[in-house]
Amino acid sequence: MQDFLSVLKSRRTVRSYTAEPVREQDLQELIDLAVLAPTGMGAQPWAFTVVTSSEVMRQLNAIVLGVLRSPHMQPFLASEGMQEWVSRPNADIFYGAPALIGISGNAQAPSTAIDCQLAAENLFLAAHAKGLGTCYMGFLVMTAESPQIQTCLRIPEGHRLLAAAVVGHPALPPDGPPKRNPARIEWVR
């Protein structure tokens, strides 16, 4: 296994997966590592949904695309390229991945949204360390108020889907290290 800093430096979003399933014990381990993230006041306000049913993923894809294609969503799609991608008949927001993990937060917790994103980042890094690929599912989170999605994902009462990721075996060699703009830093010495 790579050392931690190499994992951090080489993680990339993966948008192409093999059909090989991810073992349930690996998915369980990712969640066990995700919940090690810090939480405001130690609230641990999350509930996880793990979907490995290709039929449910197909249904979710259709529901999300249906919402994204509606006129009121067009301003939220960042670019014309994105609008065109969403309108493709074979668009797959899950990129063929065999598993989806949703992270829902208890709306009563003081920092539920932050807590769930921190858990998601743990999950991304843990998956990469294990040789698995991930992609954040922003489209699913954007449309998660849809009652159909809440039912499909079995979101518990009082919770909201706040983060989600597909997990799978990457079909292509990883992209190179992430390119980032230099961070703006004010050194106050």
Ligand X SMILES: Cc1cc2nc3c(=O)[nH]c(=O)nc-3n(C[C@H](O)[C@H](O)[C@H](O)COP(=O)(O)O)c2cc1C
- Interface size with ligand X, residues (CB under 6 A): 9
**Where does residue 166 rank: exposed (0-12), middle (13-18), buried (19+ CB within 10 A)?**
buried
Span between the terminal Cα atoms of the chain, in Å:
39
46-51 β-sheet, strand order: 46-51, 99-106, 159-168, 133-136
Among residue numbers 65 through 94, which ones bind ligand X (CB under 6 A)? none
Cα–Cα distance measured from residue 141 to residue 21, given in angstroms and rounded to the nearest whole number: 23
- Give residues with Cβ within 8 angstroms of 178, minimum separation 6: 9, 11, 12
Which stretch in 12-20, 45-53, 104-112, 150-158 sits in contact with ligand X by CB under 6 A?
12-20
Structure tokens belonging to residue 95: 């990129």
Minimum CB separation of residue 137 from ligand X in Å reads 5
| Other residues' Cβ atoms within 10 Å of the Cβ of residue 137 | 25
178 contributes a contact to ligand X by CB under 6 A: yes
When the beta carbons of 25 and 181 are compared against ligand X, the nearer one is 181
Minimum CB separation of residue 15 from ligand X in Å reads 6
List 12, 130, 160, 169, residue binding ligand X (CB under 6 A): 12
Among residue numbers 116 through 145, which ones bind ligand X (CB under 6 A)? 135-139
Minimum CB separation of residue 151 from ligand X in Å reads 21
CB 115 within 8 A of CB 68: no
Minimum CB separation of residue 140 from ligand X in Å reads 7
Minimum CB separation of residue 175 from ligand X in Å reads 6
13 contributes a contact to ligand X by CB under 6 A: yes
Site of interaction with ligand X (CB under 6 A): 12-13, 15, 135-139, 178
